[in-house]
Amino acid sequence: MNDDPGTDPGTLRGIRTRVLVLVLATAVLATVAVVYTVRAADRADRRERTAPGQPTARAGAVDLRQSGRLLFRNLAWGPERDHVSSVALAAPSASRTAAPRTCLRFHAAAGTGICLRRKSGVIAGHEAVLLDAGLRPVRRFPLPGVPTRARVSPSGRLVAWTVFVSGDSYAGGDFSTRTAVYDTRTGTLHASLEEFTVVKDGRRDRAADHNFWGVTFTADDRHFYATLATAGRTYLVKGNLARRSVRTLRTNAECPSLSPDGTRVAFKKRVRGLPAEAPWRLHVLDLATGRETALAERGSVDDQALWLDDRTLLYALPGDFGADLWSVRADGGGSPRMFLKSAVSPAVVAG
Amino acid sequence: MYVSASRAADAAAGTVRSLRRPGGTARRAVAGNVVALGLVSLITDVSAEMVTAVLPLYLVVGLGMSPLAFGALDGVHQGASALFRLVGAYGADRTQRRKLVAGAGYALSAGCKLALLAAATPWAIGAVLAADRTGKGLRTAPRDALISLSSPPDGQGRAFGVHRAMDTAGALLGPLVAFAVLWAVSDGYDAVFVVSFCAAALGVLLLALFVRDIRTPRPRPPGGLPPSAVRALRTLARTSGLPRLCLAAALLGLVTVSDAFLYLLLQQRLDLPTAYFPLLPIGTAAAFLLLAVPMGRAADRAGRMRVFLAGHGVLLIAYLLVLAPWPSALAAAVCVLVLLGAFYAATDGVLMAAAGPLLPEHLRTSGLALVQTAQALARFAGSVLFGAAWMYLGPGGAVTAAAAGLAAAVITVAVLNKGAPHER
């Protein structure tokens, strides 16, 4: 590369040329970096302004007990971007009411909210904030990674969250998850489900590579369903909080979501023949019969679905401004419909 | 050869004149080429770690993906990376263009930073990360060969120590730069990638301008036959001390528990708050940064194999500390992280420093790649074994087994090494 006899490395002139080239190139590269960053900051500011053709949002009060509403993280551009917002379930396309509380992931039930958010400051950090019905912080928990799932039990007593933890490995192929459950009544924090006893196929399993994510609670506030990944497979597990144990129910079921009547679990399933990086199709499992029903959504869904009611599911798909919420029938019929533009992390406050 | 090479490199580098002192003290400094390669690694690691630091955020928060989708692809990438390292190293030796092969690796990784801007689907991001890793696989052995060939036989440890310290400094700076960009631009992942690319391009340029390629004449092949990979491998197998070193690296690698497991254990057994988890690798890296040069110098003086073994002894102490009951979790964590950093300082560059002088110059890249690959494969097998041990014995039992295995391996290697001609 620099063995060109024209520039003898030993001569002073050769060194001077090289240093000059380096200084010039550094100046160019530094300029590119600075200009791009400044322009990116401008564009980020633009996201603070409303864009035409997007849903509108108005600042206002959001109450977690107000029934007949859908709560979510608003993704539409404008000052209310990322704020916890609400619309009437009956008129989802109407203007949104946005509370001054930003969250990356959010869920709520019966007056309890959980908000996974970025802590402000130069050093990156995330926290889980337990919210009361008026979205006021009750308790904060530092998070060891990037938020991905959040759930509140139907009674509002239990909350769960999952984060991705990445190690120090180069190129970042290795990710693991950490899932915590907090009991708001007793104040008990199960900091990681990996501390629970795992019974796999009827036997105690002590593998080191347990990863849990996507908790969904039963109505009795004692049990939950979740995903366990170990040895390259995923399992649907049922957990018992008092016994601090989980047992596997079946393989290949991720991000379960229990129906309001407690009879079915919606989940995403890896389907053979689909590309390895977008392999998931939504399915519904009947817990009594073990029968699986494939849903009408043909795209790969990488989200923990939410039951809008006992017949309809809600889930996020990538959209123009991050993500949109779609709905599909839970019995496998019908076709998917856009339910709410520019929104993620929905929670239903039923009437 | 060594002395003249390092002098020429000093002149070529130009930037490191102050390190050269007249007379006997010049022996204390490292060759300009090593400092130049260290700077390249520093800048490149700033670039690489910027991306690593924000990648989970970008995938989950920016793109709304779950990064676990990459789990399946990752195993394939690891294998491919090892293959590229061996093939690239052999190519570098065969053509005697080590700088070109290393440069290609650096340039490929730099290009990947820009490619991340365009990659928005999991498949595309997986492909970019695979290419990035290939670039790392390509560049590591030729770079280490250049460091080795630029340094006198009795200064190898110091040279690698300086290089690894500079490399680690970059790794520590990277996340800070990334989060500074994100702080200036909310959700500005694209800005992070562009800044990372600019740094990587600067690294490639530094390499092109200030690193001197070292070409070593190949001995004329007997019978006029072109040198083949098989013959190269045969030569390496007959190289005095190399099979023993590979065996030692593999044996010790087999009982080395991966950092990820150790951090997990540390957190579980000491009941550290989970929020501290991301700080653990930083602690190790900081200790590595501070200890790399002293350990390298100690290796030159006391014997590299001895320091390499002592490093594993330090690791053994770290395992025992994890198992011991501690009154203060924080004190225990700090001790273990310092020991872990010392382990890396006493082994990472030192292994290359031990291998370098054994190897014929025309096969130095291939030889170093072979040692690196033997160690990497053994560590991979070791982590599978450790996973199995965890399953049957529980976390405490698994670490006890690993500690016993490590103690046995250290003793075995020490005995094996006793019969070897003493190297310094």
pLDDT in tens, A74-89: 999 888 999 999 999 9
| CB-based contact B8 A10, cutoff 8 Å | yes
The conformational region for residue A231 under phi > 0 = left, psi -120 to 50 = alpha, else beta, is: left
Helix axes B364-418, B242-254, angle to 10 degrees: 80
pLDDT digits (tens, 9 = 90+) for A178-194: 999 999 999 999 999 99
Which chain A residue has its CA at the smallest distance from B387's CA? A208
Tell me what the pLDDT averaged over chain A comes to: 89
Question: From the CA of B420, how many Å to the nearest CA of chain A?
Answer: 35
Residue whose structure tokens are 């990947």: B112
| Rounded-to-integer distance, Cα B322 and Cα B331, Å | 11
Among B181, B194, B268, B274, the strongest candidate for a mutation testing the A interface, having the largest count of A CBs within 10 A, is B274
pLDDT digits (tens, 9 = 90+) for A119-152: 876 566 899 999 999 999 999 998 888 899 999 9
| Rounded-to-integer distance, Cα B309 and Cα B418, Å | 12
Which whole number is the average pLDDT over A60-64?
94
DSSP state of A48: T
Which whole number is the average pLDDT over A200-227?
92
Which whole number is the average pLDDT over A157-184?
77
Beta bridge mates, A294: A283
pLDDT at residue A221 in the model:
96
The whole-model pTM stands at 0.84
Asked whether residue A216 carries a pLDDT value surpassing 50, the answer given is yes
Q: Look at B324 and A26; give whichever has higher pLDDT.
A: A26
| Rounded-to-integer distance, Cα A105 and Cα A107, Å | 7
Chain B residues lying within 8 Å of A277, measured CB to CB: 69-70, 73, 121-123, 126
Q: How far apart are the first and last CA of chain A?
A: 73
CA-derived radius of gyration, chain A = 24
Chain B residues lying within 8 Å of A166, measured CB to CB: 52, 55-56, 67
Is A204 exposed, middle or buried, given 0-12, 13-18 or 19+ CB atoms closer than 10 A? exposed
pLDDT at residue B8 in the model:
36
Is B234 exposed, middle or buried, given 0-12, 13-18 or 19+ CB atoms closer than 10 A? exposed
* Maximum average pLDDT range among A56-60, A245-249, B135-139: A245-249
Question: Percent of chain A, pLDDT > 70?
Answer: 92
Q: How far apart are the first and last CA of chain B?
A: 19
pLDDT at residue B1 in the model:
29
Residue whose structure tokens are 């690593």: B52
Among B57, B210, B344, B379, the strongest candidate for a mutation testing the A interface, having the largest count of A CBs within 10 A, is B57
Is A24 exposed, middle or buried, given 0-12, 13-18 or 19+ CB atoms closer than 10 A? exposed
Chain B residues lying within 8 Å of A267, measured CB to CB: none
Asked if B95 has any chain A CB less than 8 Å from its own CB, the reply is no
| Neighbouring residues of B223: CB distance < 8 A, sequence distance ≥ 6 | none
pLDDT at residue A122 in the model:
56
Each of the 424 residues of chain B gets a pLDDT tens digit; together they read 233 333 333 333 333 333 343 433 444 578 899 999 999 999 999 999 999 888 888 888 777 777 666 555 555 566 677 888 999 999 999 889 999 999 999 999 999 999 999 887 777 888 888 899 889 999 999 999 999 999 999 999 999 999 999 999 999 999 899 989 988 888 889 999 999 999 999 999 999 999 999 888 776 655 555 567 888 888 888 888 899 999 999 999 999 987 877 887 887 777 777 667 778 888 999 999 999 999 999 999 999 999 999 999 999 999 999 888 877 878 888 999 999 999 999 999 999 999 999 999 999 999 999 999 999 889 888 888 888 888 788 888 889 999 999 999 999 999 988 766 554 4
Question: Is A6 in a helix, a strand, or coil?
Answer: coil
pLDDT at residue A75 in the model:
92
Residue whose structure tokens are 């110098």: B297
pLDDT digits (tens, 9 = 90+) for A257-293: 999 999 999 999 998 888 777 789 999 999 999 999 9
pLDDT at residue B257 in the model:
85
Assign A2 a pLDDT band (cuts: 50, 70, 90).
Answer: very low
DSSP state of A65: T
pLDDT at residue B68 in the model:
66
Q: Which amino acid, A126?
A: H
The conformational region for residue A232 under phi > 0 = left, psi -120 to 50 = alpha, else beta, is: left
ipTM of this predicted complex? 0.81
Helix axes B259-270, B329-355, angle to 10 degrees: 160
| Rounded-to-integer distance, Cα A218 and Cα A211, Å | 21
| CB-based contact A2 B184, cutoff 8 Å | no
| CB-based contact A41 B275, cutoff 8 Å | no
Asked if B206 has any chain A CB less than 8 Å from its own CB, the reply is yes
Question: Is A333 in a helix, a strand, or coil?
Answer: coil
Structure tokens at B224: 């006029």
Asked if A147 has any chain B CB less than 8 Å from its own CB, the reply is yes
Chain A residues lying within 8 Å of B72, measured CB to CB: 232, 276
| Rounded-to-integer distance, Cα B399 and Cα B417, Å | 26
| Rounded-to-integer distance, Cα B61 and Cα A105, Å | 9
DSSP state of A16: H
Please state the length of chain A: 351
Reduced 3-state DSSP string for chain B: CHHHHHHHHHHHHCCCHHHCCCHHHHHHCCCHHHHHHHHHHHHHHHHHHHHHHHHHHHHHHHCCCCHHHHHHHHHHHHHHHHHHHHHHHHHHHHHCCHHHHHHHHHHHHHHHHHHHHHCCCHHHHHHHHHHHHHHHHHHHHHHHHHHHHCCCHHHHHHHHHHHHHHHHHHHHHHHHHHHHHHHHCCCCHHHHHHHHHHHHHHHHHHHHHHCCCCCCCCCCCHHHCCCCHHHHHHHHHHCCCHHHHHHHHHHHHHCCCCHHHHHHHHHHHHCCCHHHCCHHHHHHHHHHHHHHHHHHHHHHHHCHHHHHHHHHHHHHHHHHHHHCCCCCHHHHHHHHHHHHHHHHHHHHHHHHHHHHHHCCHHHHHHHHHHHHHHHHHHHHHHHHHHHHHHHHHHHHHHHHHHHHHHHHHHHHHHHHHHCCCCCC
| Residue in B57, B179, B188 closest to A123 by CB | B179
DSSP state of A195: G
Which chain B residue has its CA at the smallest distance from A322's CA? B63
Cα angle value A199/A203/A204 (rounded, 5°): 60
Chain A residues lying within 8 Å of B55, measured CB to CB: 166, 172
Question: From the CA of B191, how many Å to the nearest CA of chain A?
Answer: 5
Chain B residues lying within 8 Å of A79, measured CB to CB: none
Distances (CA, A) of A252 to A206, A269, B66, B164, B407: 20, 6, 16, 43, 41
pLDDT at residue A123 in the model:
62
| Rounded-to-integer distance, Cα A303 and Cα A213, Å | 11
Chain B residues lying within 8 Å of A176, measured CB to CB: 260
| CB-based contact B69 A37, cutoff 8 Å | no
Structure tokens at A237: 């597990």
Closest CA to A228 of A199, A191, A202: A199
Backbone angles phi, psi at B333, to 5 degrees: -60, -45
Structure tokens at A108: 């709520």
Structure tokens at A112: 């309890």
| CB-based contact A142 B274, cutoff 8 Å | yes
Structure tokens at B53: 């630091």
Closest CA to B152 of B335, B339, B318, B9: B9
- Return residues 222-281 of A near B (CB < 8 Å): 229, 232, 275-279
| Rounded-to-integer distance, Cα B300 and Cα B289, Å | 18
Asked whether residue A29 carries a pLDDT value surpassing 80, the answer given is yes
CB of B306 closer than 8 Å to CB of B295? no
| Rounded-to-integer distance, Cα B419 and Cα B415, Å | 7
Asked if A51 has any chain B CB less than 8 Å from its own CB, the reply is no
Assign A169 a pLDDT band (cuts: 50, 70, 90).
Answer: very low
Chain A residues lying within 8 Å of B6, measured CB to CB: none
For B24-49, b/e burial (b = at least 16 CB within 10 A) is eeeeebbbbbbbbbbbbbbbbbbbbb
| Rounded-to-integer distance, Cα A15 and Cα A189, Å | 63
| Neighbouring residues of B279: CB distance < 8 A, sequence distance ≥ 6 | none
Asked if A169 has any chain B CB less than 8 Å from its own CB, the reply is yes
Question: From the CA of A92, how many Å to the nearest CA of chain B?
Answer: 22
| Rounded-to-integer distance, Cα A28 and Cα A38, Å | 15
| Rounded-to-integer distance, Cα B221 and Cα B359, Å | 17
Strand order of the β-sheet with A337-340 is A306-307, A312-319, A322-329, A337-340
pLDDT at residue A96 in the model:
94
Question: Is A122 in a helix, a strand, or coil?
Answer: coil
CB of B153 closer than 8 Å to CB of B300? no
